[in-house]
């Protein structure tokens, strides 16, 4: 079994940022395929991994934004700018 150094894992771990609200991005390879928002991006991304989800993606990222008004506006702006294929109805 490979040696795993728990102390190094602890030292390099990321701090939990509360509810992780903001705007998130789903990528399929190099392609940006979806932009979403939520009060907890981790939970929203997990919802997209369910069997009944129509979204295929291989990686994700998010921008942490605490203010709901700000993340709503940024989501709309970015959807309109990049037109990801799974954002069927661009809003704005």
Taking CA atoms, 28 is separated from 5, 15, 34, 47, in Å, by: 32, 27, 9, 16
Q: Could you give all domains of the chain from N- to C-terminal order, each with its CATH number?
A: 18-82 (3.40.1440.10)
Residues 75/24, Cβ–Cβ less than 8 Å: no
Query: pLDDT tens digits for 3-13?
Result: 778 888 888 87
Residues 37, 75: contact at Cβ < 8 Å? Answer: yes
Tens digit of pLDDT for each residue in 56-69?
999 999 998 989 99
Residue 1 clears pLDDT 60, i.e. is over it: no
What's the rounded Cα separation, in Å, for the pair 64 and 25?
12
pTM for the full model? Answer: 0.78
Task: End-to-end CA distance of the chain: give it in Å, rounded.
Answer: 53
């Amino acid at each position: 079994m490979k040696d795993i150094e728990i102390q190094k894992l602890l030292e390099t771990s990321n701090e939990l940022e509360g509810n992780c609200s903001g705007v998130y991005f789903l990528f399929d390879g190099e392609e940006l395929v979806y932009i979403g928002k939520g009060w907890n991006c981790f939970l929203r991304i997990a919802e997209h991994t369910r069997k009944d989800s129509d979204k295929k993606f291989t990686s994700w990222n998010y921008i942490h934004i605490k203010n709901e008004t700000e993340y709503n506006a940024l989501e709309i702006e970015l959807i309109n700018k990049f037109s990801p294929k799974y954002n069927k109805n661009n809003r704005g």
